[in-house]
Amino acid sequence: MIAPRIRRALRNSLGAVAAVFALAACTGGQQEAGLELEILKTVRDQVKLRLKDKPERPPVTRALLDSLDDTYIEVRVEDSDLLAYLRPLLVKQDSTPGTLTLWVTEDSVTLALREGVLTATRGLRNDMLSASTLVTETGGRMGPRGQGARRYEIAALDNRSEVFTLACTVSDLGPETIEIVELTYQTRHLQEHCESESGLVVNDYWVDSRSGHLWQSRQWAGPTIGYMRIRQLTL
C-alpha cells in the first residue's frame, strides 16, 4: 500500500509544481505558444503520464466476449509489448481488389486491413502510410495468395517516406488448429515470404479451412513498429 501513497503524494506535489508553472507560464488567445512554454508543457505531460495509475484489466474470457455485441480484434505489437482492442470504423471498397476494413483503438490509432492483410497504420510512430497486398479477390478466402511484389511506404525521417519493395511468395504450410480465447479453429497456415536487398519480412496468416475467414495473423508494420499479432476475438 506504500506505493499508491507515494504516488498520491507525488501527484499532489506535481499539482503544486503545475500550479507554479501555470503562474509562471501561460498563454491565452490565438497566439502560438512559445518554445519555452511548450517545453514546460511537454515535461509536465510526461511527468503526469509516468505518475498515472495503470489500468487493471480483467482477464479476457469467452463469456465476457460473448456478452459483447460488437466485433473486436486484438492487436499486440511485439517489440513494444503493447496490446489494444480494436473495433471497425469503416468498411469500404475502392478500386483495389479486396474489402478494406479500418479498425480503431479507443485512443485513435487505426489499422487498415484489406481482406485481413495490413495495408496502413495511423497514429503510431513511423506509420505505414500504404502497402500493396497480394489480395486478388473480394469476398472469397481472406489473406494473400500467389506471388508478386509488395510495396511498403513508411512515414520516416524528415517529413518524408521510405519505400521498401519486396518480392513475395505465399506458401501453404498445411493445416493447423489454433485457439483464440477458448475457441478452436481449423485453419490453414499461410506464409508470405518477402525479400529484397533491404531485408526480409515474413508474414503469417491462419485462415479458416472451411469459411476462408482470417482468424489470426502476424504481420510486419514497418521498421519502427515491427511485427504485430492480430487475432479476431468476436465476429
Q: Which of 6, 10, 19, 68 binds another protein (CB under 8 A)?
A: 68
Size of the site for another protein (CB under 8 A): 114
C-alpha cell of 146? Answer: 500467389
Q: Which of 18, 47, 51, 102 binds another protein (CB under 8 A)?
A: 102
The interface with another protein within residues 173-212 (CB under 8 A) comprises 173, 176, 178-181, 189, 191, 193, 195-196, 198-202, 204, 206
Rounded CA-CA distance 116/145 in Å is: 12
Rounded CA-CA distance 24/13 in Å is: 16
Measured from the CB of residue 141, what is the shortest distance to another protein in angstroms?
19
The interface with another protein within residues 105-124 (CB under 8 A) comprises 105-110, 112, 114, 119-120, 122-124
The interface with another protein within residues 134-163 (CB under 8 A) comprises 151-162
Rounded CA-CA distance 184/178 in Å is: 5
| Integer Rg of the chain from CA | 22
Bridge-partner residues for 162, per DSSP?
154
Measured from the CB of residue 6, what is the shortest distance to another protein in angstroms?
18
Residue 160 buriedness (CB in 10 A; 0-12 / 13-18 / 19+) = exposed
Beta pairing, strands 183-196 & 199-208: antiparallel
Measured from the CB of residue 144, what is the shortest distance to another protein in angstroms?
13
Bridge-partner residues for 164, per DSSP?
152
CB contact at 8 A, 74 and 83: yes
Which of residues 40 and 141 has its CB atom nearest to another protein in the complex? Answer: 40
Q: Which of 14, 25, 47, 51 binds another protein (CB under 8 A)?
A: 25
Measured from the CB of residue 152, what is the shortest distance to another protein in angstroms?
8
Measured from the CB of residue 61, what is the shortest distance to another protein in angstroms?
9
